[in-house]
Structure 1
Amino acid sequence: MRPLMIAACFALTAAASVASAQEAAQATPAPATTAAPAIKGDAAKGRQLTYTCQGCHGVTGYKNAYPNYHVPRIGGQSAAYLTSALTEYKKGSRKHPTMQAQSQSFSDQDIADIAAFLSTLK
């Protein structure tokens, strides 16, 4: 009879803690999330900023002059992807020494402008 009592006590304790957690979750309001407004990119400014990108990424015709290994095509990529990639290089969470060095000089507005221009290319 003793194992049955222990099991019953355990079940009641577990049920009480679940009910208590559910009540606390319902009583506590969710914290307000204030997302920063998205920065609108200017493609005309982005075109000027991407001049050095052409050396490796070969935006015109997607042919790179240097280096002679695979470099990703950036023209025509989505603005969201380009913004994310450049931001990650800038923060250091995406690793590539040249791209990290390039992105360090860009403001958030510069990154939005670059993404706006490159995403318009075919």
Structure 2
Amino acid sequence: MPEQLTKHPDVTLQVLRSAGARCGEGETQAILRSCPPARFCKLPGGEVCVYGLDGAPAMTQFTAADWQSLAPLARGSADADAAGPWSGMTVAIFVAGVAAGALAAAVLARWRRGSRRG
């Protein structure tokens, strides 16, 4: 029977209940015995244990190798997050440059009109 990891365990439990699962109701845990009772769901076809991120260390079906295989994905996300502010800074500099260029063009155009008159 599966253990499920989600960022939104309460929503997942609500969805399972809407499909007829009995969750957190003191059902007999035949297979997922270490599942916290509040996170345990029994369905006609089996059992499910829904873990939130804070409960991930208590999961029994993932090995250390499984968690380590996810580490490069987390590092990639962290790298993208770290680059985010610099990307935003680049955009801000670009926008400021365009604005300064437009202002300079407007000043130059006005100056040229004024120098033609006099």
Bin of the TM-score, shorter chain as denominator length: under 0.3
Q: Structure 1 length normalisation: TM-score?
A: 0.22
Larger Rg: 2
Counting strand residues as a fraction of each chain, which structure ranks higher?
2
